[in-house]
Structure 1
Amino acid sequence: MPEAPAPSWFADLAETIALEAAALAARHRAAGVEVADRKSSIVDVVTPADREVEELVRRRIAEARPDDGFHGEESGSGAGSSGYTWVVDPIDGTVNFLYGSEAYGVSIGVVRGAPDPATWEPVAGVVVVPATGTVFRAAAGAGATRDGVPLHVSAPPTLAETLVATGFGYTADRRREQVAVLAGFIGEVRDIRRGGAASLDCCAVGAGTVDAYYERGINPWDMAAGAVVAAEAGAVVRIWEAGGIRSFLFAAPSIADALESLVRGAERDVLGD
């Protein structure tokens, strides 16, 4: 059996594919965007660009790695025989994309094992921002970069000096719960940021432009690539169950334990777990 490629090889391939996909997404944005369908709620939209970009990514992966698995937001899963799975969000931050915001990204992660963040082994991740050309990239054991420059997490000395990114779900009930949890700890941290694209929030932790990112209920494709970037830049990654839904925390090591404790307490107050 041939030796498996190094994580950096997967990162190279992911970057090549993500750059092509980002160019396609940018062309769609320049031509104008329409809503093609809605998923979990009226605000959970999908555009023709989401589908076309994922089709491109899936095709390029199949051409290069026909035995690998695939798990995408728009086209679902396809099992492979190699042990590797590509976890893809073709346009993370679709609402931002729809509104003309630059805060959206093409997210391509590679993992060993099933596409389950609780059990997979991260291999590589690339997130490209089509509007700016920014490339976040990481490979297991090789660190993380932004446009080739190494990334390092921040080191806030206290929770009171910690800037936390977060996000909200698409259903009204989920958002109400999330806001209630947020109200339970917002007074203990520096401030909150809400960008609207989980992959970019993970990368922001890696870049140190926020100190942590917490969200309950994100999907594997939302964070597969960004989680590798955050972790390889030195972030602590924590996953736990809250109210039957997974919570995710990506945080600078200096405040990770304290922030997790604070957030879990706020969740218990709201969810009763």
Structure 2
Amino acid sequence: MNSATPGELLEIAIEVARSAAETAHRMRGEGVAVAATKSTATDVVTAADRAVERQVTEHLRRLRPYDAILGEEYGEGTPASTGNGGNGGAGSRTGAGTGAVRWIVDPIDGTVNYLYGLPYHAVSLAAEVDGTVVAGVVRNIATGDEWTATRGGGAYRSGQRLRCSTETDLGQALIGTGFGYDAARRAHQARVIAGLITEVRDIRRYGAAALDLCQAAEGRVDAYYEKGLGAWDLAAGGLVAAEAGLRVTGLRGRPAGPDLVLAAPPALYQALHDRLADLDASGGP
């Protein structure tokens, strides 16, 4: 029952993400309530974040009851763990589960945008098999735009195959990034930006990492980097970016992860990588 092809897992992911996005959109229309904060007073969790993640968890368990699930709000759990979607705090990694498949969900990526009504927030859902993400979907809650990918099968938006930017000159590149909520981390990230901004076309900061990775996959930004992403930020969008031809890594031979995610087309990758390494973009708090 646990075995499935990436295409089959993607079909499930799309079904679940679309339903979740409808719920998030409806709840936004009814008004947004801040339910809690996380790392800082400005790092908010809305009631919709929690409700949507519970919905995703329940939906997945109906369809694939033996799979594990990792969510941003409720952590990681298995069907036997708990009825509310996890058994730990946000992002906890307790109880890996018995299934070969693990689902990784960000119920609302770009919560602050969602809170303010800015139309750049998304449901992100990926399927991981034996530690490798093989299928993923990112759906913009406000607009209905949807990006999908399967490992080895390409990345798509609205049925159109995605190809990343062909820009070759770092000085002409539009670079996407994001900032953490901790003040000390923001200060370090600002120093990195100050060192980079004179060497590229410009910088863009939209506030939702999964969508940023999809924008890079389309070439709407030429490359993207950010420190501090969780697995739920990276899983689906990172696969979309990689399948569109971007190199998705960390710095200095490390894999993409909390230290840094860099997604850049091959022609820009080394120059941007080296500049970010010089600026210690993966350092600081």
| Rounded Cα–Cα distance in structure 1 between residues aligned with 2:159 and 2:58 | 27
| Rounded Cα–Cα distance in structure 2 between residues aligned with 1:197 and 1:141 | 25
Q: Aligned residue for 2:6?
A: 7
Of 244, 260, 264 in structure 2, the residue corresponding to residue 247 of structure 1 is 260
Q: 1:268 Cα shift?
A: 7.0
- Cα distance per residue 1:87-128 (max 9 Å; x no partner): 110000000000001100000011123xxxxxx312111001
- The range that moved more, 139-148 or 76-85, is 76-85
**1:211 equivalent in alignment to 2:210:** no
- The range that moved more, 96-105 or 27-36, is 27-36
Of 93, 99, 102 in structure 1, the residue corresponding to residue 119 of structure 2 is 102
TM-score by length of 2: 0.88
Q: Aligned residue for 2:275?
A: 262
Contact 1:181 1:270 in 2 (8 A): no
| Rounded Cα–Cα distance in structure 1 between residues aligned with 2:97 and 2:60 | 12
- Corresponding residue SS for 1:145: strand
- Corresponding residue SS for 2:123: strand
- Cα distance per residue 1:52-100 (max 9 Å; x no partner): 0000001111111112111100110013222221111000000000000
Q: Aligned residue for 1:126?
A: 137
When residues 28 and 271 of structure 1 are mapped into structure 2, their CA distance, relative to the original with a 3 A threshold, is closer
Given residue 19 of structure 1, which amino acid in structure 2 is its aligned partner? R
| Rounded Cα–Cα distance in structure 2 between residues aligned with 1:163 and 1:144 | 21
Q: 1:187 Cα shift?
A: 1.1
| Rounded Cα–Cα distance in structure 2 between residues aligned with 1:85 and 1:257 | 32
When residues 66 and 253 of structure 1 are mapped into structure 2, their CA distance, relative to the original with a 3 A threshold, is same
Contact 2:259 2:282 in 1 (8 A): no
Q: 1:271 Cα shift?
A: 4.7
Given residue 23 of structure 1, which amino acid in structure 2 is its aligned partner? E
| Rounded Cα–Cα distance in structure 1 between residues aligned with 2:202 and 2:231 | 26
Given residue 56 of structure 2, which amino acid in structure 1 is its aligned partner? V
**1:196 equivalent in alignment to 2:213:** no
For 1:139-218, what aligned pairs fall within 5 Å after superposition? Answer: 139-218=150-229
How many residues align? The count is: 263
Root-mean-square deviation over aligned CA pairs: 1.8
Q: 1:3 Cα shift?
A: 8.1
Contact 1:180 1:270 in 2 (8 A): no
| Rounded Cα–Cα distance in structure 2 between residues aligned with 1:207 and 1:77 | 31
Q: Aligned residue for 1:117?
A: none
When residues 43 and 271 of structure 1 are mapped into structure 2, their CA distance, relative to the original with a 3 A threshold, is closer
Given residue 269 of structure 2, which amino acid in structure 1 is its aligned partner? A
Contact 2:229 2:258 in 1 (8 A): no
When residues 195 and 82 of structure 1 are mapped into structure 2, their CA distance, relative to the original with a 3 A threshold, is same
| Rounded Cα–Cα distance in structure 1 between residues aligned with 2:170 and 2:212 | 18
**1:75 equivalent in alignment to 2:74:** yes
When residues 139 and 11 of structure 1 are mapped into structure 2, their CA distance, relative to the original with a 3 A threshold, is same
Q: 1:161 Cα shift?
A: 1.1
Q: 1:4 Cα shift?
A: 2.5
What fraction of aligned residue pairs are identical, expressed as a percent? 45
| Rounded Cα–Cα distance in structure 2 between residues aligned with 1:106 and 1:3 | 24
TM-score by length of 1: 0.92
Contact 1:68 1:83 in 2 (8 A): yes
Q: Aligned residue for 1:86?
A: 103
| Rounded Cα–Cα distance in structure 1 between residues aligned with 2:136 and 2:183 | 31
| Rounded Cα–Cα distance in structure 2 between residues aligned with 1:271 and 1:203 | 27
Q: Aligned residue for 1:226?
A: 237
Which consecutive aligned stretches of 4+ in structure 1 deviate over 6 angstroms post-superposition? none
- Cα distance per residue 1:147-166 (max 9 Å; x no partner): 22111101112100111100
Contact 2:106 2:125 in 1 (8 A): yes
- Corresponding residue SS for 1:74: coil
Which residues of structure 2 form unaligned runs of 5+?
78-95
- Corresponding residue SS for 2:98: coil
